[in-house]
Amino acid sequence: MGPMTPSELRSRLEGVIAFPVTNFKSDYSLDIDAYRTNVAEMVKFPLCAVVAAGGTGELYSVTPEEHLQLVEATVAEAGGKTAVLAGVGFGGGLSVELARKAQEAGADGILMFPPYYPNADFEGLARYYKAIGEAVDLGLFLYSRDTVNLSPSQVFRLASEIPNLIALKEGQGDIRNYQRVMERCGDKLHWIGGIGDDMVPGYYSIGVRTYTSSIATIAPRLSLQLHERASMLDYPSLGRLMRNYVLPLYAMRARRKGYEVSIMKKAMEILGKPAGPVRPPLPDVRPEEVKELESLMARYEPVL
């Protein structure tokens, strides 16, 4: 079975998109066996997609060779049950190479991170995204994050000019702008809540029904519960899940730049899942915070 067409992939995009961590050994070399173990556990759950080398997967710390290994391993473990997306970024040359190799390895879609150049002129950005789109036949996901905060007219233009662009992953947490983008573009794209599990109530209140989850690395069941409760507009139940599990974890993640990944890897380790260290320049979790995280993970038992 080959990769999905862009339209087939888009039709499957409802629910939770998971972002597995990239496992490293103590010497920071890639631990592909540990990675495969984690992905195999993830895809036992009805996720709509899994992203190889996403933000939680430390895209910007892996080599092209490691990137390919991660995509191949994800495709193998997903076994067609779950769509596989590959994160690409850096610049126009490397992003195109990574996307082509990911397509050859069997990925179903490409998540396009912003390029290395911050605050790029929109004309340059447009060429960056178009080059990736021209390099592959796969469905593309536009990722608005960091210094790339696209206006409604800019998203509309990209959706009109890149035939295989099928979705926008909003990573700013800017509900006001996202509503305007959705209103301007209508059904041109599929809309994804992309900044974190803590924004599920906000995203789903404006009609989003797909979100990207870091919590799926430790508790896929909880990620799916968040989607289900939010989809039903069951705010009392959703609120309890947020207060008991999501908000305390995201408060820890917000303490230091890079903790978005470091905290998740340490939580996995506490729960007995293979994780390994983060690669520099991401920071390690402070010893005094490990005990705090251990207490929080003990509270997670009912949703594991």
What is the set of active-site residues?
A: 143, 169
Give CA–CA dist 195/255, Å, rounded: 16
Q: Which residues pair with 141 in a beta bridge?
A: 111, 167
Task: Give the DSSP letter string of 222-281.
Answer: HHHHHHHHHHTT-HHHHHHHIIIIIHHHHHHHTTSTTHHHHHHHHHHHHTT----PPPTT
Q: Nearest to residue 54, comparing CAs of 34, 40, 36, 74?
A: 74
The pair of structure tokens assigned to 56 is: 């939680």
Q: Are 151 and 158 in contact (CB under 8 A)?
A: no
Provide the residue count of the chain. 304
Whole-angstrom CA distances from 54 to 58, 70, 138, 212, 220 are: 6, 10, 17, 10, 17
Which residue is associated with the tokens 């909880």?
A: 222
Q: What are phi and psi of 77, to 5 degrees?
A: -75, -35
Give CA–CA dist 29/182, Å, rounded: 42
Q: Are 87 and 51 in contact (CB under 8 A)?
A: yes
